[in-house]
């Protein structure tokens, strides 16, 4: 193993660590919504600064590797793809913090009323699927795309389900607002939160697609069957 190979192993580990922190952020943000624990929201918002710092540090390391080793072919593609992945991870971290910032506005209202029960069930479901999507995408990154190619189908399925659920929950929220105008402000806030979860899933699928292109030189649309 040469020096660059060791550097790339360390780069991979740093991105896996960053992804684990992002998943923890997602779970904390969702737990805050379900349990109305302001402390969890504050911790999640504060931890977003750490994710931002990790993105800067990893990006600077990637630039150093490019300048110092002038990698070619697969190594070059791995580094440039890694730089794109950390951008998505940073944005996913921002979404988790944003869920908390928006959710804090709900604590002064009728936060736990029965009319919102289906909404919080939705948040729990899409958070679980988003968590799975990111874990599987990063497993493809860490353990090999070809070795884990079947995970792409699970990621795509989860993303499609989240899109369907997102549309349904927005319709349900709008219908609830029509019936109960007093809950309009909270309902609008819930729509904003639902969109954050949907975007989180979009980024997870994008990471998977970046990896497919890195390894196979194919977009998802042009990918052959395995």
Q: Note whether 121 and 62 are within 8 A (CB).
A: no
**Residues 64-119 pLDDT 10s:** 999 999 999 999 999 999 999 999 999 999 999 999 999 998 855 554 456 667 88
d(C-alpha 221, C-alpha 102), whole Å: 35
Total number of domains in the chain:
1
Residue 225 in any domain: the answer is no
Residue 23 in any domain: the answer is yes
d(C-alpha 11, C-alpha 79), whole Å: 8
Range of the domain at 60: 3-216
pLDDT of residue 62: 98
- Residue numbers in the chain where pLDDT is lower than 50: 111-112, 226
pLDDT of residue 113: 56
d(C-alpha 34, C-alpha 46), whole Å: 19
Q: Which of 142, 140, 136 is nearest to 17 (CA)?
A: 142
Tokens 């194919």 -> residue: 218
The structure tokens listed for 24 are: 């923890």
pLDDT of residue 98: 98
pLDDT of residue 109: 52
Residue 221 in any domain: the answer is no
Residue 223 in any domain: the answer is no
Residue 222 in any domain: the answer is no
pLDDT of residue 8: 98
Residue 204 in any domain: the answer is yes
pLDDT of residue 76: 98
pLDDT of residue 225: 58
pLDDT of residue 69: 95
Any idea what the CATH number is for the domain that residue 117 is in?
A: 1.20.58.220
pLDDT of residue 111: 42
CB burial string 2-19: b at 16+ within 10 A, e below: eeeeebbeebbebbeebb
d(C-alpha 100, C-alpha 140), whole Å: 29
Residue 156 in any domain: the answer is yes
d(C-alpha 179, C-alpha 175), whole Å: 6
């Amino acid at each position: 193993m040469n020096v660059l190979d060791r550097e790339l192993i360390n780069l991979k580990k740093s991105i896996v660590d960053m992804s684990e922190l992002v998943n923890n952020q997602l779970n904390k943000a969702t737990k805050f919504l379900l349990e109305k624990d302001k402390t969890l929201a504050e911790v999640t918002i504060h931890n977003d600064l750490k994710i931002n710092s990790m993105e800067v540090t990893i990006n600077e390391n990637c630039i150093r590797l490019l300048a110092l080793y002038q990698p070619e072919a697969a190594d070059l593609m791995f580094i440039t793809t890694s730089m794109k992945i950390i951008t998505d991870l940073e944005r996913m971290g921002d979404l988790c913090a944003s869920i908390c910032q928006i959710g804090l506005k709900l604590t002064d209202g009728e936060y736990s009323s029965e009319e919102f029960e289906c909404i919080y069930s939705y948040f729990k479901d899409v958070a679980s699927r988003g968590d799975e999507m990111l874990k599987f995408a990063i497993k493809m990154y860490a353990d090999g795309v070809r070795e884990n190619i079947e995970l792409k189908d699970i990621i795509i399925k989860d993303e499609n389900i989240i899109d369907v659920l997102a549309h349904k929950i927005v319709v349900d929220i709008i219908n609830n607002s029509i019936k109960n105008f007093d809950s309009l402000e909270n309902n609008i806030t819930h729509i904003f939160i639902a969109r954050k979860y949907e975007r989180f899933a979009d980024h997870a699928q994008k990471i998977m697609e970046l990896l497919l292109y890195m390894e196979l030189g194919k977009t998802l649309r042009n990918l052959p069957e395995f």
